[in-house]
Chain A
Amino acid sequence: MKVVLQDLTKIFPSRNKNGQEVVAVNKFSFEIPDGKLIGLLGPSGCGKSTTLYMICGLQQPSGGKIFFGEDDVTELSPENRGVGLVFQNYALYPHMTVKQNIMFPLENLKGDDRMTKTQMLERAYHVAKLVQIDDLMDRKPSELSGGQQQRVAIARALVKMPRVLLLDEPLSNLDARLRLQTREEIKRIQRETHITTVFVTHDQEEAMSISDMIVVMKLGVVQQIGKPQEVYDNPVNLFVAKFLGTPPINVFDGEVKGEKLYIGEQAVLDVKGAADQLVHVGIRPEGFIVDANGALECDLSNVEVMGRDVSIVSRHASSQNPVIRSIVDADNKLPEGATKVRFSLKPHKVFLFNKDSEERVYFEVK
Chain B
Amino acid sequence: MAAMVSSASGLLAMLGEQHPALKLHALHQLNSLVHLFWPEISTSVPTIESLYEDEEFDQRQLAALVVSKVFYYLGELNDSLSYALGAGPLFDVSEDSDYAHTLLAKAIDEYASLKSKSVKPSDDEAMVDPRLEAIVERMLDKCILDGKYQQAMGMAVECRRLDKLEEAITSSDNVHAALSYCINLSHSFVNHREYRCEVLRLIVKIYQRLPSPDILSICQCLMFLNEPEAVANILEKLLVSGNKDEALLAYQIAFDLVENEHQAFLLSVRNRLPDPKTLAVNRAAQPAETIDQGTSETSSQNENRNAEPGDVHMSDASIATSSNTHIADPNEVSYAEKLTKLKGILSGETSIKLTLQFLFSHNKSDLLILKTIKQSVEMRNSVCHSATICANALMHAGTTVDTFLRENLEWLSRATNWAKFSATAGLGVIHRGHLQQGRSLMAPYLPQSGAVGGGSPYSEGGALYALGLIHANHGEGIKQFLRDSLRNTSDEVIKHGACLGLGLAALGTADEEIYEDVKNVLYTDSAVASEAAGISMGLLMVGTASEKASEMLAYAHETQHEKIIRGLALGIALTVYGREEEADTLIEQMTRDQDPILRYGGMYALALAYRGTANNKAIHQLLHFAVSDVSDDVRRTAVLALGFVMYSEPEQTPRIVSLLSESYNPHVRYGAALAVGISCAGTGLSEAISLLEPLTSDVVDFVRQGALIAMAMVMIQTNESCDSRVGTFRRQLEKIILDKHEDTMSKMGAILASGILDAGGRNVTIRLLSKTKHDKITAVVGLAVFSQFWYWYPLIYFISLSFSSTAFIGLNYDLKVPKFEFLSNAKPSLFEYPRSTTPPTSTSTVKLPTAVLSTTAKAKSRAKRDAEQKAIADKASEKTSGEKSTEKGTGEDGSTGSSSGKGQKPSEKDADSMQVDGATEKKAGTEQPFEILTNPARVVPAQEKYVRFLDGSRYVPVKLAPSGFVLLRDLQPTEAEVLALTDTPSTTPAAGTGSTTAQQGAAAPALAVDDEPQPPQPFEYTA
A and B pair up: no
> Residues on B close to A: CB < 8 A?
none
